[in-house]
Structure 1
Amino acid sequence: MKKIIAILCITLLIVSCGSSKKTTTKKGKQNTVKVDRKKKKAEKETEIVVVEEEAITETPEVYANKTEEYIAIFSDIAQNEMRNYQIPASITLAQGILESGSGSGRLSVEANNHFGIKCHEWTGAKIYHDDDASQECFRKYKNAKYSFRDHSLFLTERKRYSKLFELEKDDYEGWAKGLRAAGYATDRKYPNKLISLIERYQLYRFDADVLGKESKVSDKHAVVKGDTLYSISRKYNISVTELKSLNSLDGNDLFVGQILFVKPIPKDY
């Protein structure tokens, strides 16, 4: 009995000692990151927003017809040839319009040949086309400007056209008649066709520009790039209101090639 009591006492002593021990746990050191709220806010405010830009497309020029478009494209070249070779730009343009069908004929489209110039010892590229005879040889150019240059050389290098260069530089009527007389064309109406084109489209204005002269005043004006109602009214010394009235215009929009009346129409017209 004493032995049992002794064992119980020892057991109680061990339990009481164990419960009195303090339990300690090691807390791991926490890594803290300081957030700079002001900086974060600034970054948000300076975010770059990329917006896709809409494609910018140029509005194509609008022309009254193919002839007006032809004039707009090739008038600069014709004027340059006039400066270099003394051939009226009006004549060059009128011949180009007539002989190339305003740039839509086969020779001009496929060979950049605007004046129907045949091979004649030509060593460059060629194209064959029915003309006076079947499948005649014509010159083929990489660029239409070379066709205009060959046209100038064709007229300046042949003696039969030498008298034309004695005319006034803007005498398009003399040139039109002289070309036919020198054998350039067999069509008896060829001079009248050239003159009609020159006067209808006022091609003489390109001669006047090269020579530094004022273009003769006409009852009509063909709108060119850069024209406005105001600039046209100043040129012909009329008011914008009168110009709009003469042409029944409601707004201020114009298009290249548009023909405008610039003189009052007579009452008995």
Structure 2
Amino acid sequence: MFACLAGWLLTGCGSKKRASRANPAPTGQKSVSAPSGDLPEDTGDFVFFEIGSPEEYIRTFAEIAQREMRTYRIPASITLAQGLLESGFGMGELTRKTNNHFGIKCHTGWEGDYATHDDDARGECFRKYNHPMYSFRDHSIFLSSRSRYGSLFTLDPDDYRGWARGLKAAGYATDRRYPQKLIGLIERYNLQRYDAEVLGTMVRRKAPVTVSEGIYNTHRVQAGDTLYAISRRYGMSVDELMKINRLSSSALAIGQLLKVRADSNNK
């Protein structure tokens, strides 16, 4: 998987579509806010993929949407539907000049590159990324790190209808028909199948969760966290932490949710 993503930075990971390169981002500006170490290093080149149809968009980005679902528990179907809608299947004016697939504005604290674009108002500030992968990762971080979206992460990870309604209720979009548009795209293109594929290898959980091993809460991975540090904090062994979260390696991503013991003395 990682080799495919690393190769995609240059070639499109098996895709025949054209990838165009532009000048690097201005010196001193980052193309994305602190991407986790599981993404390839940003080369500084602006890489844009020519997409010919919604179906091609789905084929191109389904794998990374599933990768984000495994790490952040955002349904791949929702990520793909939002990308299709917000980016005009990757070919909208804003996306062509920023690789911003989710219409995320700069907001306070954004230190990366940006571009202005007329949206709800003239000349609004939108985040700019050197590669679509960083837009998908920033979308995951954006949703998982803001308290107003917190209730969405208590939903079952295949509840795309609940996610669609919850995004609108939390203020992601001003369009009153936003949920219906997302649900329509998901069901038209059968995007829920990508959720089902992920759930074949993923534990469904809410916090707290009762499973055969005991009762667990969740821990959201922060910058600097390691499996060893988390295991010590919650009175667990690294092997136990890996087992109950079905981890195949010790690599962690910022914002990732892990099951941890609920009966520990951690405060």
Instruction: Give the TM-score normalised by structure 1.
Output: 0.55
Of 194, 202, 221 in structure 2, the residue corresponding to residue 206 of structure 1 is: 194
Distance 2:93 2:77 in 1: 23
Alignment match, 2:53: 66
Report whether the alignment pairs 1:181 with 2:169: yes
| Greater alpha carbon shift after TM alignment, 91-100 vs 182-191 | 182-191
User: After the TM superposition, which segments of 4 or more aligned residues of structure 1 sit over 2 Å from their partners?
Assistant: 58-61
TM-superposed CA distance for 1:188, in Å, is 1.2
TM-superposed CA distance for 1:125, in Å, is 1.4
Distance 1:70 1:152 in 2: 18
Structure 2 residue identity aligned to 1:78: A
Of 159, 171, 185 in structure 1, the residue corresponding to residue 147 of structure 2 is: 159
Of 79, 104, 109 in structure 1, the residue corresponding to residue 91 of structure 2 is: 104
Of 127, 132, 140 in structure 1, the residue corresponding to residue 128 of structure 2 is: 140
Structure 2 residue identity aligned to 1:101: G
Alignment match, 2:119: 131
Structure 1 residue identity aligned to 2:184: S
Alignment match, 1:190: 178
Unaligned runs of 5+ in 2: 1-13, 18-50, 202-267
TM-superposed CA distance for 1:123, in Å, is 1.7
Structure 2 residue identity aligned to 1:96: G
Report whether the alignment pairs 1:170 with 2:158: yes
TM-superposed CA distance for 1:140, in Å, is 0.8
| Contact 2:102 2:135 (8 Å CA) reproduced | yes
Q: Could you report, residue by residue, the CA deviation over 1:155-178 in whole angstroms, capped at 9, with x for unpaired residues?
A: 111111111111111000010011
Alignment match, 2:260: none
TM-superposed CA distance for 1:96, in Å, is 0.3
Distance 1:198 1:59 in 2: 23
TM-superposed CA distance for 1:186, in Å, is 1.6
Structure 2 residue identity aligned to 1:153: I
Higher percent of residues as helix: 1
Give the 3 Å change call, closer, same or farther, for CA 144–60 of structure 1 in structure 2.
Answer: closer
Q: Give percent identity, aligned residues only.
A: 64
| SS of aligned partner of 1:127 | strand
Bigger-Rg structure (1/2): 1
- Equivalence map 1:6-85=2 (5 Å): 66-85=53-72
Distance 1:190 1:76 in 2: 24
Give the 3 Å change call, closer, same or farther, for CA 138–211 of structure 1 in structure 2.
Answer: same
TM-superposed CA distance for 1:60, in Å, is 5.2
Structure 2 residue identity aligned to 1:184: Y
Distance 2:114 2:185 in 1: 30
TM-superposed CA distance for 1:87, in Å, is 0.2
Report whether the alignment pairs 1:87 with 2:77: no
| SS of aligned partner of 1:198 | helix
Give the 3 Å change call, closer, same or farther, for CA 59–119 of structure 1 in structure 2.
Answer: closer
| SS of aligned partner of 1:131 | coil
Higher percent of residues as strand: 2
Distance 1:142 1:92 in 2: 19
Give the 3 Å change call, closer, same or farther, for CA 65–138 of structure 1 in structure 2.
Answer: closer
TM-superposed CA distance for 1:99, in Å, is 0.3
| Greater alpha carbon shift after TM alignment, 79-88 vs 181-190 | 181-190
Instruction: Give the TM-score normalised by structure 2.
Output: 0.55
Unaligned runs of 5+ in 1: 1-57, 214-269
> How many residues in Structure 1 have an aligned counterpart in Structure 2?
154
